[in-house]
Amino acid sequence: MKAPYRRRFLTLAGLGMVGGALGYAYVKGVRYPRLHFTPEPAPTAAELEGIGIQAQGAVLQGVAADGAIRFRAYAPEPRFDLRVSNGQRVRLLLENVHPDATMLVEPTQPGLSQQRTGLLRTVAGEAKADTSWHIRWSFPKPDAYRFTIIGDTGGGSELDWVIKRSLELGADFIVHLGDFYYDPGDLERAAAALNATSIPTFAAIGNHDFRDGWQPLYPHFTRLIGPRNSSFRLGGIQFVNLDTATDFWPAHRGERLRLLQRFPQDEPDAAIRDFVTFTHRPLYKVNGLGEASWLRRQLLDRGMKKLMAGHIHIKDEVDDGGLYTYVSGQGLGHADLIVDKPIAQILVGDVAPGKPVKYHWAPLKMPFEAHCNSRNLGVLEVLQRRQTLTRLRQICPEPTPAK
């Protein structure tokens, strides 16, 4: 091939590859900064030899060497469909289920056993060949319940206190607005803390949970904590978890759009009397190309008039273009250290039969010794609060520097 033709061929081939990549990106969607294609949704199904299992309201964590299939619930009433082609023993482990939730099985399986250990359920039984089971859990308080809403806790002592305070406030579960990860190991520490308590937690993914520099963290987040986008209904209240951890282009593509399309714009679902829409970043902090305005319109058109968000480490209420936004990002309690007294707040949601959710703020009351996150120490360094910094360093373990 002569040189001019070769150059023309290579140029056309290169343009074709670029065009193909742009077309794929447009369909698939890309995340930025740290440009990459948007991740696949968290897996909710498993196939073993002779066993198939599909979950609703739970993500697959993995399969143990002994054949036990482990899931983590991201909804208070998870469901499972099991198919067994060979006569064999089935063992299912499920995290993040309220201790008082009731297991229901159809058809009835006399040999099926359930063990409760805190928020962990272990279900085991011998299955006959060519059988199907339907297993679900019923939340103990589906019509009248309380939940707390807060983000930006990290995965250490501040998160431990948020869990304790939520229990003191009588919460039946926690809605976490993201950013468990500030230091290496935080996601693992957070998962251990969430599994050790007596109420479940349903969480959004934060920008710090999504990546650490060039290192992707979202696979660990979805396996240990929950999916990036999800929804569940409890007692007529629809909870919608949206991923705003990093900017997304084009806004009208991907998993988030598919989730929103479940809720029609023109024909509201009569079974939904209110929405609890939660995410990490308030939309006025989303910088994508038209992303914030598109998302805001999508929510408002579907009757989602309120948004719960964190990201900013403050307590605030803002009318964001008609979308009333509660910012509950004081999980680290920065404000307490700045003014040298406990002023941080946690948002509380109350559900009563036939009524919309009622919100109010409650004091977080974080004790001084819980403020051990390295980011809190960094705030004190910047503000030159030497006395407070010295006190914290005397009672806190040496932290791993924050990224």
Do 94 and 150 fall into the same domain?
A: no
pLDDT confidence bin for 127, thresholds 50/70/90: confident
Q: Using alpha carbons, list the distances in angstroms from residue 211 to 35, 180, 216, 243, 342.
A: 12, 12, 4, 13, 31
| pLDDT tens string 51-82 | 999 999 999 999 988 889 999 999 999 999 99
* Calpha distance 289→29 (Å, rounded): 12
Res. 125: pLDDT tops 50: yes
What pLDDT is stored for residue 267 in this prediction?
Answer: 82
Please check whether residues 244 and 355 belong to one and the same domain.
yes
The answer to whether position 385 is within a domain reads no
User: What would the mean pLDDT of 339-351 be, rounded to a whole number?
Assistant: 95
94 and 53 within one domain = yes
> How many Cβ atoms are within 10 Å of 340's Cβ, its own excluded?
11
Question: What pLDDT is recorded for position 206?
Answer: 97
The pTM score is 0.91
Mean pLDDT of the region 29-37: 68
Give the residue from 96, 22, 85, 113 showing the smallest Cα distance to 55: 96
- Cβ(220)–Cβ(191) below 8 Å: no
Residue 18 has pLDDT above 50, yes or no: no
Q: What percent of the chain has pLDDT above 70?
A: 90
Average pLDDT, the chain: 89
224 alpha-carbon distance from chain centroid: 10
Reported as a single tens digit per residue, the pLDDT across 287-343 is 988 999 999 999 999 999 999 999 999 999 999 999 999 999 999 998 999 888 899
3-class SS of residue 179: coil
What CATH number does the domain containing 83 carry? 2.60.120
134-143: pLDDT as tens digits: 999 999 999 9
pLDDT value at position 49? 83
Average pLDDT of span 147-171: 97
Same domain, 134 and 249: no
3-state secondary structure of 282: coil
Q: Do 133 and 153 reside in the same domain of the chain? A: no
Q: What are the φ/ψ torsions at residue 336 (nearest 5 degrees)?
A: -60, -45
- Tell me, yes or no, whether 61 lies in a domain: yes
* HSE of 195, CA atoms in CB hemisphere, 13 A: 19
Asked whether residue 110 falls in the same domain as residue 192, the answer is no
Number of domains observed in the structure of the chain: 2
Residue at 367: amino acid letter: P
Structural domain harbouring 212: 145-370
The answer on pLDDT for 37 being more than 80 is no
pLDDT tens sequence across 192-218: 999 999 999 999 999 999 999 888 999
Instruction: Answer yes or no: is 124 within a domain.
Output: yes
SS3 content of the chain, % helix, strand, coil (to 5): 25, 30, 40
Residue 112 and residue 175: Cα distance in Å, rounded? 32
Q: Confidence band (pLDDT; 50, 70, 90) for 377?
A: confident
Asked if residue 10 has pLDDT above 70, the reply is: no
Residue position matching structure tokens 């963290």: 217
Does 91 reside within a domain?
Answer: yes
The CA distances from residue 338 to 85, 87, 194, 379, 394, in Å, are 62, 63, 28, 8, 18
Q: How confident is the model at residue 4, as a pLDDT? A: 60
